[in-house]
Chain A
Amino acid sequence: MKTNYLFSIIMLFLLLGCNTKNTQQNSDNDTLNLIKDTVHTNRVKKIFYNVPSPIEMSTVIQRSGAVFRNDILCPYKNVEKYTSLSKQAIMLGVYGANLSYVRLFEQIQLAINYLSSIKKLCDAIDIPQEQGSLAIQRMEKNIENKDSLLQIISETYAATDSYLKDNGRGNTATLVILGGWIESLFIATQIADYNNPSNKEIIDRIGEQKFSLNNMIELIKAYPDDKELQLYLPSLLDLKKLYEEVNIEYIKGEVKTDANKKLTTIYSVAKVEIKKETFEKIKTLAKQIRTNIIKY
C-alpha cells in the first residue's frame, strides 16, 4: 500500500512536469501569431527555437570588405582560466565565433590556436573524442582549406549540440549558443562603421538580430532553474528593449516555387531602420554583456 502511494506521488510529479512543459509550449504558440491554420495548430506538442550560427552571421562581414581586426578577438590563451563548466560551455561558443571570424580572413595560425582552445574546452566539458575532438583533429589536417574548415566548424558545433542534448544537458548547449551569438554580435558591432555606406549590410544584419534575440531569450526561458543562464537573462531583456527602437518594415512579396529544382523563392523586402544612437547603444550593451561573459 505504502509502495503504491509512493509510486503514485512519483507519477504525479512526472506527469505534472510533463504538463507544465506542454502548457508553456501551447501558451508560446498562442502568442506566436494569429492562428489561421486550424488543421496544423490543433495539437502543437513541441516548439523549437533556432538561433543562426556564428558562421551564418559572419558571411555578411566577408561581403562588406571589412579588414581583419585581431584586437577585438577574445584571447585564445585565456582558455585555461575558465574552470567552471558553465564558463567553459559559454566560452566554447565564444571561441567558435572567433574561429568563424578568423576563418573568413584565412588567418591560419590563429585558426589553429582557436582550434586548440576549443579542443581543450570540448575535453573539459566531456564531449567524447568521436563527437568533438576527432573532428578537430580532422580540422588540423584541413586547416588550409577554407571550405573544409567551414564544414568541420559546423560539424563540431553540431556534434557538441547533439551530444549535450542527448545527455540531458540542453542548458549547457544553450550556453554554447548564447556565447556564440553574443560574440558574433559583438564582433559585428565592433567592425561596423555606421557612417560608411559600404557597411549598410552589416548594420542591417545587426538590426535583424532582433529576431534572433527573441529566439535566444525563448531558449533561455526553457531552463528557468539554470542559474547561469538566468544570470544573463536580464541583460538580454535590456538588449531587447533597445531593439524595440529598431524598426523592420516588411513588405510581403511574391512566392515562386520551382518544383523541378525543389526550390521556393520568397520575393519579400525588409527595410531595416536603425538610428545611429540606437546602434551605439546596442554596441555598448553588446560589449558589456560580452565582457561579463568572457570574465573568468
Chain B
Amino acid sequence: MKTNILILLWLFVSFNAYNQCKGFTKKECVPQIKPFTYNGQLNMAVLNPGDVAELIVTFYKGQDYRLFVCAQENLGKIEFKLLDSERNTIFYNKEHDMVNYWDFHSNATQQLIVQVRVPPLEEEVAVAPSGCVSILVGFKE
C-alpha cells in the first residue's frame, strides 16, 4: 500500500513538473530569443540531475543563429555544447561562464547537435530535483 502511494505521488509530481514546464518555457524562455526570430519548434523536457538532452538541427549557410538554453533555477547551471556531425565540440558554455545563450554563424549548411546536461548532484539526496529544460533556436534573415 505504501509503495502504491509513493508511485502515485511520483506520477503526480511528474505530471505537475511537465505542466510547470509548459508554462515556464512559454513565459520565461521564448521571449528571450529576441531579436532573433524563433524557429517555432518547442524542444522542452523535464530532466533530472545528470540527464542529457540533444537537439539535432540544421544551420543554413550564411545565416545567423541563436541557441538559447533555458532551465528552471533548481537544476543549477546547465552545460551546453554545440557539436558538429562527428561530435567534435564547436562551442562549450563551460568555457564562457556557463552562459545560457550564444550566437553562431556558419559558412556552410550543416547538421549540428546541441547537447545540454543538467549538472549531477554533488551528494545523495532523498528526492532528486527535476525541472524544465528548453532548447530554443532563433535565426535572422
Docked Cα-Cα span, A47 to B4, in Å, equals 31
Interface string of B2-25 (1 = CB under 8 A from A): 001001000100000000001001
- Taking a contact as CB atoms under 8 Å apart, the answer to whether A150 and B141 are in contact is yes
Q: How far is the CB of B106 from chain A (nearest CB, A)?
A: 4
- Taking a contact as CB atoms under 8 Å apart, the answer to whether A7 and B22 are in contact is no
Q: How far is the CB of B44 from chain A (nearest CB, A)?
A: 8
- Taking a contact as CB atoms under 8 Å apart, the answer to whether B88 and A162 are in contact is no
Q: Which residue of A lies closest to B25 (CB)?
A: A162
Considering the complex, which residues of chain B in the window 41-71 have a beta carbon less than 8 Å from any beta carbon of chain A? Answer: 41-43, 45, 47-48, 50-61, 63
Q: Max chain A CB contacts within 10 Å: which of B42, B59, B60?
A: B42
- Taking a contact as CB atoms under 8 Å apart, the answer to whether B87 and A7 are in contact is no
Chain A neighbourhood of B52, CB < 8 A? 40-45
Docked Cα-Cα span, A253 to B135, in Å, equals 26
- Taking a contact as CB atoms under 8 Å apart, the answer to whether B85 and A43 are in contact is no
Docked Cα-Cα span, A11 to B115, in Å, equals 31
Docked Cα-Cα span, A34 to B88, in Å, equals 10
Contact of B55 among A48, A177, A250 (CB under 8 A): A48
Given contacts A36-B87, A265-B105, A267-B107, contact A157 B40 (CB under 8 A): yes
Docked Cα-Cα span, A44 to B141, in Å, equals 32
Docked Cα-Cα span, A232 to B107, in Å, equals 33
Chain A neighbourhood of B87, CB < 8 A? 32-37
- Taking a contact as CB atoms under 8 Å apart, the answer to whether A252 and B104 are in contact is no
Contact of B103 among A35, A150, A261 (CB under 8 A): A261
Contact of B107 among A47, A166, A253, A272 (CB under 8 A): A253
Q: How far is the CB of B122 from chain A (nearest CB, A)?
A: 16
Docked Cα-Cα span, A107 to B141, in Å, equals 19
Given contacts A49-B56, A56-B60, contact A265 B82 (CB under 8 A): no
Given contacts A33-B86, A211-B58, A270-B61, contact A44 B111 (CB under 8 A): no
Given contacts A36-B87, A49-B56, A211-B58, contact A266 B50 (CB under 8 A): no
Q: Would you call A75 an interface residue if the criterion is a C-beta within 8 Å of the partner chain's C-beta atoms?
A: no
Chain A neighbourhood of B79, CB < 8 A? 40
Q: Would you call A67 an interface residue if the criterion is a C-beta within 8 Å of the partner chain's C-beta atoms?
A: no
Interface string of A41-76 (1 = CB under 8 A from B): 111111111111101100110000000000000000
Q: Which residue of A lies closest to B56 (CB)?
A: A49
Contact of A47 among B25, B48, B54 (CB under 8 A): B54
Considering the complex, which residues of chain A in the window 246-289 have a beta carbon less than 8 Å from any beta carbon of chain B? Answer: 250-253, 255, 257, 259, 261-270, 272
Contact of B109 among A4, A59, A270 (CB under 8 A): A270
Q: Max chain A CB contacts within 10 Å: which of B1, B83, B107, B108?
A: B108
Contact of B45 among A46, A55, A177 (CB under 8 A): A46
Chain B neighbourhood of A259, CB < 8 A? 96
Q: Would you call B77 an interface residue if the criterion is a C-beta within 8 Å of the partner chain's C-beta atoms?
A: no
Chain B neighbourhood of A253, CB < 8 A? 107-108
Q: Would you call A208 an interface residue if the criterion is a C-beta within 8 Å of the partner chain's C-beta atoms?
A: yes
Given contacts A36-B87, A40-B81, A49-B56, contact A161 B51 (CB under 8 A): no
Docked Cα-Cα span, A69 to B101, in Å, equals 39
CB-defined A-B contacts under 8 Å, sample of 6: A44-B54, A177-B41, A204-B61, A253-B107, A262-B96, A265-B106
Chain A residues close to B by CB (< 8 Å): 4, 7, 11, 14, 29, 32-37, 39-53, 55-56, 59-60, 150-151, 154-155, 157-158, 160-162, 165-166, 177, 204-205, 208, 211-212, 214-215, 218, 250-253, 255, 257, 259, 261-270, 272
Q: List 13 additional A-B contacts (Cβ < 8 Å) besides A49-B55, A263-B103, A268-B110.
A: A43-B50, A45-B53, A52-B39, A59-B63, A151-B37, A205-B109, A211-B109, A218-B56, A262-B101, A263-B105, A264-B91, A265-B106, A268-B108
